[in-house]
Structure 1
Amino acid sequence: MTYGLAPGIVIEDSVRGSFLVSARPLRMVRLNPALLKLTQRMLAAEIEATSAAETTVLESLVKSGFVVRHQNLADLAQLPAVSIVIPVKDRAADLRQCLNSLKELNYPSEILEVVVVDDGSSDDSPKVATELGALLVRSGAVGGGPALARNKGASVASGEILAFIDSDCSASVDWLADLLPAFNDVSLAAVGGWVAGMFEGSALDRYEAVMSSLNLGRREMSGGAGGDTFYLPSCNLLMRKSAFAAAGGFNPELQVGEDVDLTWRLRDAGWKIQYLPQGTVYHAHRCRTWPFMKRRFDYGTSEGLLQQLHPVRAKKMLLPPMLTGILLLLVAALATLSLLPLPIAALLLLSDTALTRQRMSRQGLSLPWGKIIAARIRAVGSLGYYLGYHLLRYYLTPLLLTSALYPPCGVALLVMFLGVGLVDFRVRKPKMYFPGFCFYYLLEQLSYGSGVFWGCSKMKNFASYRLTLIKA
């Protein structure tokens, strides 16, 4: 296991000591002499921890985003036996491609088992499974759903690690090798990896390759006990079989959102889950507009039931008062088409910059005014993005109606849509032009938001719309 400084992290020296500094977002941590030597070693190359104390310190820096960690199979004292579980119904061609990709895995075949669970296929899916050497199991139903099928596969699996992949996916050679080392952490129940698009032929393929809800982004994440909504998708999910059994497996009553429910139950039971932007699985996304919209709608319908099953889970957002005031003034300027709020917003920004610089100076680090003000502008933009994304995701239809009745609100809505979309476009980097991206982005928000409203209406539970605001 090796550690290195994360991109954009620098060491800043001052008369009162040395600091690790992140510009995006603007954060710092003071370095004592031992920690300074440790971080200076990482300037030249990645390092290995030489003691338990160093491991503890480095892991804390990983968690806070200052350091990145790289693991490999050699970090495991013993390679675990793995059972790959694949639910399938009427996907013979996809299943063949999936099973062929598993034959190329960089993992010892003698401790690898492939279990295919047929959910009542009417095509050659069962024949393909046996032909390519998988253990074929019947789900006992016709279209019982992926949750039921995965549970059936897990019940006959012999491995201590269950690796779930869907039949319309293919695994990269290092799928297991990239993710299994995470289980060195004995508190970890499950780890998920990068989900890439299998095709790039159409604009929608290229959009889905980076914007699918199965793709959790380029940043490592982890979650334990708590009330946030972080989860792992089941198309690229490795899990301890013991934790799976203790949690009761997937809820077979759920046709969508079953992976969200299971990973939340694991966290509620005291386990930790982790996402790593590696261990790639390639997914054949829906490449036609209507199926794409239908799937987003279906995903949205799960929110009402999930909120009822997990009432402690809530969407939360930190609201720094000064930055929130600046953002509200900018929105007011757009909604009223007036320049009057802008000087007040500029004054608040300068005040916030001065206070931030003062706080940093008290800790012994003085950065240039320009660097701090740029960081605070980015912080306002970040706050605007997260609030704007929530509004677009859950309130786009009523916002469109409001804009039709009061056109100046339409200007604010258009700026919000383009701003939020531009952030996702630049961060996700789809291989397409921005106008095409905006078209599918609009369809996604409308489809998902409609699904949320439909699902919440059926459950008579609209808690999914609630955003818990936390004052900084």
Structure 2
Amino acid sequence: MKLAPEGLDVVVGAEVWRYDGGRVLVGGAPTRVLRLSPRAFEFVRDSRVAACDPTSRQLAARLLEAGLAHPDPETLPAVALDQLTVVIPVLGRSAALQRLLSGLQGVRVLVVDDGTPEPAATALHQVVASAGAELLRLDRNVGPASARNAGLGQAETPFVAFVDSDVVVTADALERMLRHFADPELALVGPRVVGTPHPQTWIARYENSRASVDLGIRPALVRPRSAVSWMSSTCLIGRREVLAAGFTAGMRVAEDVDLVWRLCEQGWRVRYEPRVVVEHEHRQRFGPWFRRKLFYGTGAADLAPVHPAAIPPAILRPWTIAVLLCLLAARRWSLPAAAAVSGVAAWRVHRRLSSTTRSRALAVRLVGGGVVAALTQASALALRHWWPIGAVAVLCSRRARWIIGIMALADGLVEYSRLRRGLDPVRFLLARRLDDIAYGTGVWLGCLRRRSFRALVPAIVSDRRAGLPLSGKVHRKAGIDGAQ
């Protein structure tokens, strides 16, 4: 059993459910149920595990690997910034680069000019020289992935940060992320990315409330098919030796998703740290914003051949499909039938959790979460990935108009109530639907270009393979390792 490094304090996630006075933990990536042994419970009683001896280090390692706990950056040892090289790929954008470099005093910075044409190149190089940064000039534009690789090849420090030129980040924020590498299993860490303040347009205000690169307020272990399944290359820090192969050369979209998934497949940990926040200058005008969303969507088809298990737009189980079919039938018997299917699923989960205190309540909660997840995924399919099919259905069927209309309204209102709102409800709902249409169109274009529709096909996973309704497994192991 692996041991966490001594001094690596971890905190049980706020999203983890607790039962039996905290002796049973439910959560993680994928979702699992852990019953703590009496000795392990003593370490977790106050939600914090201080890795100070073999027992606590073993428990901390298990909680980290399960995604049930996260390191506390405030208690981790500091890392000198001379251990870091910041690589900034840039094409033009002299003003944005100057703003970024002003916050990186005292850090080694390597700016990779990705083939900026003159006269913009001269202005860009002057900004780099004035800031005391290093410059690597590429003769032609190779795209951000290959430009980052060029900078990675020049780095000699143990850690490398990749930062986009339209970001505002400080050396202090980078140092706080570096602390996470006290975990020897960690390959990559990224911060929360929010919009720069005072957006000027309604599209920018929407992006500031719901940007694609903003992954929320909770720390997470990043894994495919989990709550946080990817991270943006807007700002990342990684171990140079682990990133030796770099990004996939030539990829101009989804190269960050590809990197994260490759690292996960290799057994490395990737962590999202929202307690460190950087700012990103979102697009202000509708045209560039819509085209960028569409461009992002095209990346799904590129990822499908190399990450077939991670790319499905929805993960459904037979019983959740049965619930969805009952509800989508929109008949008088729909709700009773859906409730009956859910009841059977809860009974089956209860039988598997019979050794867990209050397993009935836990089974109902898990199945209820599974139903909500299935409804959310069905809505995303109809409104985002499959929206052309949904549009045809709306034209041909009155029932489809009602169902998709309710999905569109409910989805928008839920998101509007959940997020920091910079818009009125009408414009927020309009932007939300345009966001989905743009991304979904990109997915279809990418699939047509590759002549493969794998990126549009949901995965159906059997209950035996999936474990718990929320895509997890039940782990029962005895002893001091923290679960039984």
TM over 0.5: yes
| Counterpart contact for 2:11–2:71, Cα < 8 Å | yes
Q: Is residue 427 of structure 2 the alignment partner of residue 419 of structure 1?
A: no
Please list every run of 5 or more consecutive structure 2 residues that lacks an aligned counterpart in the other structure. 1-7, 464-484
Per-residue deviation, residues 333-364 of structure 1 (Å, max 9, x unmatched): 1xxxx32322222333444445555655x315
- After TM superposition, the structure 1 stretch with the greater mean CA deviation from structure 2, 190-199 or 312-321, is 312-321
Matches within 5 A, 1:416-455: 416-455=407-446
Q: Hey, what does 1:347 align to over in structure 2?
A: 340
Q: Hey, what does 1:392 align to over in structure 2?
A: 383
Counterpart CA distance in 2 for 1:270 and 1:374 is 31
Computed over aligned residues only, the root mean square deviation of the Cα atoms, in angstroms, reads: 3.3
Deviation of residue 404 (structure 1)? Answer: 0.8
Give the letter aligned to residue 146 of structure 1: P
- After TM superposition, the structure 1 stretch with the greater mean CA deviation from structure 2, 298-307 or 226-235, is 226-235
Q: Would the alpha carbon gap of residues 437 and 62 (structure 1) be closer, same or farther in structure 2, given more than 3 Å must change?
A: farther
Counterpart CA distance in 2 for 1:149 and 1:193 is 21
Q: Hey, what does 2:165 align to over in structure 1?
A: 167
Q: Hey, what does 1:93 align to over in structure 2?
A: 95
Deviation of residue 443 (structure 1)? Answer: 0.7
Give the letter aligned to residue 48 of structure 1: A
Q: Is residue 38 of structure 2 the alignment partner of residue 36 of structure 1?
A: no
Give SS of 2:176's match: helix
Give SS of 1:296's match: helix
| Counterpart contact for 1:80–1:161, Cα < 8 Å | no
Q: What TM-score does the superposition give when structure 1 sets the normalisation length?
A: 0.84
* Structure with more contact order per residue of length (Cα contacts < 8 Å, sep ≥ 6): 2
Q: Is residue 147 of structure 2 the alignment partner of residue 149 of structure 1?
A: yes
Q: Hey, what does 2:57 align to over in structure 1?
A: 55
Per-residue deviation, residues 97-149 of structure 1 (Å, max 9, x unmatched): 1111223xxxxx3xx301112232432121111111111221222x3322232
Give the letter aligned to residue 95 of structure 1: L
Give the letter aligned to residue 296 of structure 1: K
- After TM superposition, the structure 1 stretch with the greater mean CA deviation from structure 2, 435-444 or 218-227, is 218-227
Matches within 5 A, 1:264-343: 264-311=261-308, 313-315=310-312, 318-333=315-330, 338-343=331-336
| Counterpart contact for 2:313–2:455, Cα < 8 Å | no
Counterpart CA distance in 1 for 2:109 and 2:126 is 15
Aligned positions, number: 450
Deviation of residue 310 (structure 1)? Answer: 4.4
Q: Hey, what does 1:233 align to over in structure 2?
A: 232
Q: Would the alpha carbon gap of residues 127 and 181 (structure 1) be closer, same or farther in structure 2, given more than 3 Å must change?
A: same
Per-residue deviation, residues 151-209 of structure 1 (Å, max 9, x unmatched): 23223223221101111111045321222122223333222221111134333223223
| Counterpart contact for 1:9–1:22, Cα < 8 Å | yes
| Counterpart contact for 1:217–1:428, Cα < 8 Å | no
Q: Hey, what does 2:178 align to over in structure 1?
A: 180
Q: What TM-score does the superposition give when structure 2 sets the normalisation length?
A: 0.82
Q: Hey, what does 1:198 align to over in structure 2?
A: 196
Counterpart CA distance in 2 for 1:258 and 1:66 is 28
Query: Which one of 5, 10, 13 corresponds to residue 3 of structure 1?
Result: 10
- After TM superposition, the structure 1 stretch with the greater mean CA deviation from structure 2, 269-278 or 164-173, is 269-278
Deviation of residue 57 (structure 1)? Answer: 1.4
Q: Percent identity?
A: 28
Give the letter aligned to residue 130 of structure 2: E
- After TM superposition, the structure 1 stretch with the greater mean CA deviation from structure 2, 427-436 or 200-209, is 427-436
Per-residue deviation, residues 386-415 of structure 1 (Å, max 9, x unmatched): 232234321112211111111211111122
Counterpart CA distance in 2 for 1:226 and 1:398 is 24
Give SS of 2:242's match: helix
| Counterpart contact for 1:229–1:314, Cα < 8 Å | no
Deviation of residue 216 (structure 1)? Answer: 2.7
Give the letter aligned to residue 337 of structure 2: I
- After TM superposition, the structure 1 stretch with the greater mean CA deviation from structure 2, 291-300 or 320-329, is 320-329
